[in-house]
């Protein structure tokens, strides 16, 4: 009996707000502004609220915080305490990842 070929699974892509690189959603880290106004790292990507995505590298996080890119993306001015929490989270990330890593993996997955 031949193996039934199904449809390819759709992989959602998102854009890093700092470097504008398009990657599969699961490769990015979501920052969320909840309906209550709290800004937090959404590791699972499931919390309700307005989200912004960043690459899992310190360079993007620093750029987003320094240039106030997250403020614009989340439509909320971030206070110093929130910025400190986000910087602390970013310290645990690699300094830099291969720029085309996510894009290349997505292309390979799409091509089968």
Digit-coded pLDDT (tens) for 45-67? 899 999 999 999 999 999 999 99
User: CA distances (Å), 50 to each of 39, 53, 70, in order?
Assistant: 9, 10, 11
Alpha helices in 1-112 (DSSP H): 58-66, 69-74, 80-91, 101-111
Structure tokens at 16: 């890093």
Counting as low any pLDDT under 50, the low residues of the chain are 102-112
pTM of the full predicted structure?
0.79
Domains of the chain: 13-101 (3.30.1230.10)
Return the pLDDT at 100: 54
């Amino acid at each position: 009996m031949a193996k039934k070929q199904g449809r390819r699974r759709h992989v959602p892509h998102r854009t890093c707000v700092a470097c504008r690189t398009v990657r599969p959603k699961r490769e990015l880290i979501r920052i969320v502004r909840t309906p209550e106004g709290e800004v937090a790292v959404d590791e699972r990507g499931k919390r309700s609220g307005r989200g912004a995505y960043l690459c899992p590298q310190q360079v993007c996080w620093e750029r987003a915080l320094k240039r106030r890119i997250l403020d614009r993306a989340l439509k909320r001015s971030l206070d110093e305490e929130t910025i400190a929490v986000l910087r602390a989270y970013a310290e645990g990330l690699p300094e830099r990842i291969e720029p085309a890593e996510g894009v290349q993996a997505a292309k390979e997955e799409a091509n089968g």
